[in-house]
Amino acid sequence: MVEYIVFFGLVISGFVFLGLDIRRIKGIQVQQNIPPYFEELNKCESPIEKRVLKALWMRDHKATAQYPMSPYRLDLALPDYRIAIECDGKTYHSSPKQKAHDRKRDKYLRSKGWITLRFSGKDINGNMSKVINRIESEIQKKHFIT
């Protein structure tokens, strides 16, 4: 008797999971109320972006991940202060072509009134307090300007 209960329980749970998977494949979204922090955390593209985002939110700075700034997209942004935070991986941002692209992007952002703060993965992983202090010093400068 117990074997039948276990068997039919497994069959029913298999159909439930099959139905959920079919909904996922078809793109049917189940409405979820995800807190803003987790929404931003899910948008981060690298572990170093997540570390900076977590540290900023812990200090009550509501940073936005993957902020659109046409024609670019910022790793992290503090839109109220017009601060762009770029978390540069070791290999990707070290090529001459990428450095030229970064300079062009920074110039564009400056023309829109933004400041760009760039931090390497080494800085983020090795000295987060220094990274946060640098960001907060820019926030303080922006407070005095406005």
Tell me: do 45 and 77 sit in the same domain: yes
Judge whether residue 127 has pLDDT over 60: yes
pLDDT of residue 91: 57
Lowest mean pLDDT across 11-25, 48-62, 101-115, 128-142? 11-25
- Structural domain that includes position 3: 1-31
What is the radius of gyration, based on Cα positions, of the chain? 22
Looking up residue 72, the CATH number of its domain turns out to be 3.40.960.10
Query: What pLDDT band is residue 119 in, cutting at 50, 70 and 90?
Result: very high
The reported pLDDT for the residue numbered 4 is: 85
Whether 118 and 105 map to the same domain: the answer is yes
Let me know whether 26 and 48 are in one domain.
no
Q: How confident is the model at residue 106 (pLDDT cuts 50, 70, 90)?
A: very high
Both 45 and 26 in one domain: the answer is no
Whether 45 and 7 share a structural domain = no
pLDDT at 101 over 90: no
Residues 5-57 pLDDT 10s: 888 888 898 888 888 887 777 766 656 677 888 888 889 989 999 999 999 99
Which residues make beta-bridge pairs with 84?
Answer: 77, 116
Is 126 exposed, middle or buried (CB count within 10 Å of its CB: 0-12, 13-18, 19+)? exposed
Indicate if 12 and 26 belong to the same structural domain.
yes
Helix (H) or strand (E) holding 32: none
90 and 117, same domain (yes or no): yes
25 and 46 inside one domain = no
* Same domain assignment for residues 45 and 25: no
Is pLDDT of 142 > 80? Answer: no
CA 113 – CA 61 distance, rounded (Å): 19
Number of domains forming the structure of the chain: 2
pTM of the model: 0.72
Residue with tokens 């390497």: 120
Is there a single domain that holds both residue 8 and residue 46? no
> 45 and 21: one domain?
no
67 membership: H or E segment, kind and range: strand 64-69
Does 47 sit behind a cis peptide bond, omega within 30 degrees of 0 on the bond before it?
no
23 & 54 share domain: no
